[in-house]
Amino acid sequence: MARPRTATRTVEHPDPSEVSLQQVLEALVDPVRRMVVSQLARAGEDKSCGTFDAPVSLSTLTHHFNVLREAGVIRQYYVGTTKMNALRTDEMEQRFPGLLSAVLAAALAKESGSTAGGN
C-alpha cells in the first residue's frame, strides 16, 4: 500500500446529474466517438479499449474514451492490464430521455445501410 501509486487504478465517473446536454452532444457529435458507442451497443457487452475498430491511433482513441466517460456516456474499469468499456444506457436514459437511444438508432440504422436515401 503505502498509498499504492497503483490503487488498482480507479476511474472517475460523473453522476448523470452533473453532465450537461452540451457535454453529451459534444461527445456524440464526433464520428469516431459515435463509432465507439455504436460498436459497444452492437456488441451488447463490455469491450476492452483495444478491441475497437476505428480509423485513428491508439492515443487518439484514449482521448475519445475520456471524452465519452466525462460526458457520462460510458463507464470504464480495469481488468488486469486491459480497460473495459460499458455503455451507461440506463443512466443516460434517465438523465436525457430518448437522446442516446435516438442517436444510437440512427447510427446503427446507417451502419446496416438498410434503405437507400444515403448517408
Partner DNA sequence: TCCATAGTACGACCGTCATCGAAAATAGGC
Partner DNA sequence: GCCTATTTTCGATGACGGTCGTACTATGGA
- Grid cell 443512466 in the structure block, residue: 91
Nearer to a second copy, 58 or 90 (CB): 90
Determine the Cα–Cα distance for residues 61 and 94; give it in Å rounded to an integer.
Answer: 27
The verdict on 113 binding a second copy (CB under 8 A) reads no
Residue of 29, 43, 58, 86 interacting with a second copy (CB under 8 A): 29
CB of 73 to DNA, least distance (A): 13
Residues 87/74, Cβ–Cβ less than 8 Å: yes
Determine the Cα–Cα distance for residues 87 and 45; give it in Å rounded to an integer.
Answer: 9
Nearer to a second copy, 11 or 105 (CB): 105
The verdict on 118 binding a second copy (CB under 8 A) reads yes
Determine the Cα–Cα distance for residues 61 and 101; give it in Å rounded to an integer.
Answer: 23
For residue 106, what are the contacts with CB-CB under 8 A and spacing of at least 6? none
Stretch that binds a second copy, among 29-37, 46-54, 70-78, 80-88 (CB under 8 A): 29-37
Total chain residues near a second copy (CB under 8 A): 25
Determine the Cα–Cα distance for residues 108 and 100; give it in Å rounded to an integer.
Answer: 12
**Window 36-95: residues binding a second copy (CB under 8 A):** none
The contact set with DNA (CB under 7 A) reads 4-9, 26, 29-30, 32, 48-50, 55-67, 76, 78, 80-83
